Structure 1
């Protein structure tokens, strides 16, 4: 259903890769799928294909392209997990947001039918969940979803800039986002008119991955159904 494409940076001086999946007919909106620390791997591409099957143009930018283009890692393989953590340590998140913004522009340009401003949402996982929150605060994205975003409690100060709806999925047993951080997220965001948090009792980080040891079928199905309803409403 999909394949790789190229997106121009905001500066217009370089190109980076992105997985693109499109519906058979006219797309009703676009969704940017933001990778985990494991790159645009088969699971991320599968999520793009799913959104395309629901009528959306889906794009997953290769955010590690400045470090190592084309990263595809398996979180269930210990050495590959270590490689992912090393890449994460070198990754410039501010540059990543600029690449997501460039992808927003590319999506709107592709969807532009001359009638209004095409709507674009984003959904991210792990690192991508954090970046989805940052995208909501720093760009004009129309709707944002974050799954088990790490370090969002340290970004609460940016929440005043969120102008469009945000949905956050928070597994209470997340060993990367401890209870104190989860409590800070609720304290700082529960009263925000644009932000909704859902807790998933006892589930751990990565519960909505497409395949592998981390997936929890019931939790993933519930969270994904909420995400689909959220985008249906706001895009």
Structure 2
């Protein structure tokens, strides 16, 4: 496993992040934001895939204050419950600060690789999808993607602060995001000039995971193609 260490914004602590580097000079960097299961094999695979597309990919351990290095499997019931417990204890505002610190670290990594003005994007899943939305509203990230983000209808008051492109993938049968919440998302964001929402009928939460019972190959491949095209347009 390849890791880097990221300094917190106040410089008083450090946390680990998984990093995948492309063979060539990076075209840009992308922060991969974990689900509630930590930086597990699936998240590392997301990073590795992005590296094959020419991006420097970094997945910070956002649960480092709670249980550093945690890796959980959503298909194991006890581990799923453990993940829910971590989510309840997780301070999302501190998580955004750690993501901002990771964005800064990614820009430094790009500069060190000979890309001094390189762009940085973010892509998140589940909890990470929510954090991708919050990152778009609260940081200077250049482009963001959220997969089956939870609770976005409760964050619509921040949509005015989204200054860079944001893509949200919505699972139409998401048992964590009901039809009313999805309607509110569309009503609040469809007319936003920087936001695009794409619906995926017939699929549930977690459909784009790299492995396990939740994955739907057809929808995952479609969403990932849309993400690839989105980042190519906005990150280069």
Pick the TM interval, shorter chain: over 0.9
User: Closer, same or farther in 2 for the Cα pair 1:15/1:181, shift >3 Å?
Assistant: same
Q: Establish whether residue 122 from structure 1 lines up as the match of residue 103 from structure 2.
A: no
Give the match's secondary structure for 1:32: strand
- 4+ aligned runs moved over 6 Å, structure 1: none
Q: Establish whether residue 104 from structure 1 lines up as the match of residue 112 from structure 2.
A: no
TM-superposed deviation, 1:140: 0.2
TM-superposed deviation, 1:188: 0.1
Give the match's secondary structure for 1:182: helix
Q: Distance in 2 between matches of 1:115 and 1:89?
A: 38
TM-superposed deviation, 1:117: 2.7
Q: Establish whether residue 191 from structure 1 lines up as the match of residue 169 from structure 2.
A: no
Greater Cα shift, 111-120 or 78-87: 111-120
Please list every run of 5 or more consecutive structure 1 residues that lacks an aligned counterpart in the other structure: none
TM-score normalised according to structure 2 size: 0.97
Q: Distance in 2 between matches of 1:115 and 1:154?
A: 37
Q: Establish whether residue 228 from structure 1 lines up as the match of residue 222 from structure 2.
A: no
Give the match's secondary structure for 2:168: strand
**Equivalent position of 1:84 in the other structure:** 83
TM-superposed deviation, 1:116: 5.8
Q: Is the 8 A contact 2:18 2:58 kept in 1?
A: yes
Q: Distance in 2 between matches of 1:19 and 1:82?
A: 24
Q: Is the 8 A contact 2:107 2:116 kept in 1?
A: no
Question: Deviation string for 1:201-231 (max 9, x for gaps)?
Answer: 1110000000000000000000000000000
Give the match's secondary structure for 1:58: strand
TM-score normalised according to structure 1 size: 0.98
Question: Deviation string for 1:148-201 (max 9, x for gaps)?
Answer: 000000001100000000000001100000000000000000000000000001
User: Closer, same or farther in 2 for the Cα pair 1:115/1:42, shift >3 Å?
Assistant: closer
Which structure 2 residues correspond to residues 1-235 of structure 1 after superposition, within 5 A?
A: 3-112=2-111, 117-235=117-235
